[in-house]
Amino acid sequence: MFTGIITDLGEIRQIEARGDLHARIGTSYDTGAIDIGASIACDGVCLTVVRLGPDWFDVDVSAETLAKTNLGAWAPGRRINLERALRVGDELGGHIVSGHVDGVAEVMQVRQEGDSTRVTFRAPAALARFIAPKGSVALNGTSLTVNEVAGTEFGVNLIPHTKEVTTWGSVAPGDSVNLEIDTLARYVARLAEAG
Model confidence band, residue 191 (pLDDT cutoffs 50, 70, 90): confident
Residue 5 · residue 83 · CB < 8 Å: yes
Beta strands in the chain (DSSP E): 8-18, 20-26, 39-42, 45-53, 56-61, 79-84, 103-113, 116-122, 136-139, 142-150, 153-158, 176-181
Q: What is the mean pLDDT of residues 2-9?
A: 95
Interval 65-119: pLDDT, tens: 999 999 999 999 999 999 999 877 777 777 889 999 999 999 999 999 999 999 9
Question: Which pLDDT does position 195 carry in this prediction?
Answer: 63
Q: What pTM was computed for the model?
A: 0.93
Please give the backbone phi and psi of residue 160, each rounded to the nearest 5 degrees, phi first: -55, -40
Residue scoring higher pLDDT (1 or 121): 121
172: left (phi over 0), alpha (psi -120 to 50) or beta: beta
Structure confidence at residue 108 (pLDDT) = 98
CA dist 17 and 172 (Å) reads: 28
Averaged pLDDT for residues 57-72: 96
pLDDT at 90: 72
What's the pLDDT band for 188 if we cut at 50, 70, 90? confident
What pLDDT, on a 0 to 100 scale, did the predictor assign at position 43?
98
Q: How far apart are CA 58 and CA 127, in angstroms?
A: 31
State residue 19's pLDDT score: 81
Domains with residue ranges and CATH for the chain:
8-84 (2.40.30.20), 103-194 (2.40.30.20)
How does pLDDT run across 158-168, given as a tens digit for each residue?
A: 999 999 999 99
Write the burial class of residue 126 (CB in 10 Å: 0-12 exposed, 13-18 middle, 19+ buried): exposed
- What is the per-residue pLDDT for 140? 98
Can you give the pLDDT at residue 190?
Answer: 67
> What is the rounded distance in angstroms from the CA atom of residue 97 to the CA atom of residue 1?
6
Cα separation, 180 vs 140, in Å, equals 8
Q: What is the mean pLDDT of residues 15-39?
A: 95
Q: Is 77 exposed, middle or buried (0-12, 13-18, 19+ CB in 10 A)?
A: exposed
Q: Return all residues near 188 (Cβ < 8 A) that are at least 6 apart.
A: none
Give pLDDT tens digits for 121-155: 999 999 999 999 999 999 999 999 999 999 999 99
What integer pLDDT is reported at residue 95 of this predicted model? 84
